[in-house]
Amino acid sequence: MHDARIDSLARQLVRYSTSLKKGEKVLIDLHDVPDSIGLALIREVRAKGGLPFLRIHQGRLTREMLRGAEDKQYSVLAKHLLAEMKDMDVYLAIRGGLNIAETSDVPADRMKLAMKHMRPVLDHRVKKTRWCVLRWP
């Protein structure tokens, strides 16, 4: 069943929170949220003349990647994610929480290694894009 509140949220994020302009590139980053949110955001970005790009994450899969994180692996991953982020004007993330303790058993050294490599991506996003990140629900 369609929920008009999701459309309203998408409109608010695109038109007000990030002030999207025609032709701008938007990275939509979804973490464990219903497909309807992604659909609404893609449609709203297009309605404003923007170009939507999509990344979908699942907590269980992210956890497994982090549990076995290797330096070379995250170096390559971060290089590609940074290149992608540098090409974006706007970043919209909605982060769900099917299991808020999903990564609690990831060894601290693996988490630190991954975060070391991902830091430049985060720094670029915060300093160089218009962004909005929110929790769901």
* CATH number of the CATH domain containing 92: 3.40.1830.10
The residue type found at 48 is: K
The boundaries of the domain holding residue 14 are 4-135
CA distance 49 to 115: 34
pLDDT (tens digit per residue) in 67-126 = 999 999 999 999 999 999 999 999 999 999 888 899 999 999 999 999 999 999 999 999
Pairing of strands 90-95, 25-31: parallel
pLDDT tens readout for residues 21-67: 999 999 999 999 999 999 999 999 999 999 999 999 999 999 999 99
Q: For the chain, what is the domain count?
A: 1
Q: How far is CA 67 from CA 31, 98, 114, in A?
A: 18, 18, 10
Give the pTM: 0.95
